Amino acid sequence: MRAKLSFNCITQIGDLARHRLLRHLDLSHNSLERITGLGALKFLKTLDLSHNCITEIAGLEGLSICNLNLSNNKIKAIANLGRLPSLEKVNLSSNQIVGAGGLEPCTLLRDVDISNNAIVDVEEYFWLKNLRFLKHLDARAKPPEPNSDEDRIL
């Protein structure tokens, strides 16, 4: 089963227990601030929560998600993804993340996008050596803000 609920001005996720057979859930482009109500979705493989207002990764414990999209939110730290043992692909691009640690328990990761975040220290990427299945990494830096000191011509 698949549910596409994007662009609906949704502000919170109710209890989805009666939809426990969902395999793909798209809640992108809404106004969600927290991840809740997903605990009963034991068959969920793909979850798209991109383009919301989510500030922390929580509420996904015990799910069998393989593909998670949390891009374009307000997340500051990578946390709790180790509780997703089936995770193979994660998109955390365009958030406010300052450190790349937190993915090391996700040993099945093949595809990671953490581009356009606030990570500036190359040492933050040392955890990659333990991700033996990693095939694709996008860690491009966030472009400078317009009219920043770097863009000014004297």
Q: What span, in angstroms and rounded, lies between the C-alpha atoms of 109 and 66?
A: 9
Query: Phi/psi at 81 (nearest 5 deg)?
Result: -75, -20
Q: What span, in angstroms and rounded, lies between the C-alpha atoms of 37 and 29?
A: 18
- CB-CB neighbours of 86 under 10 Å: 13
CB 57 within 8 A of CB 35: yes
Q: What is the pLDDT of residue 79?
A: 92
DSSP string covering 66-99, please? SEEE--SS---S--SGGG-TT--EEE--SS----
Q: What span, in angstroms and rounded, lies between the C-alpha atoms of 77 and 90?
A: 14
Q: What is the pLDDT of residue 154?
A: 41
Q: How confident is the prediction along the chain (154 residues), in pLDDT tens digits per residue? A: 999 999 999 999 999 999 999 999 999 999 999 999 999 999 999 999 999 999 999 999 999 999 999 999 999 999 999 999 999 999 999 999 998 888 888 999 999 999 999 988 877 777 777 889 999 999 888 766 676 555 544 4
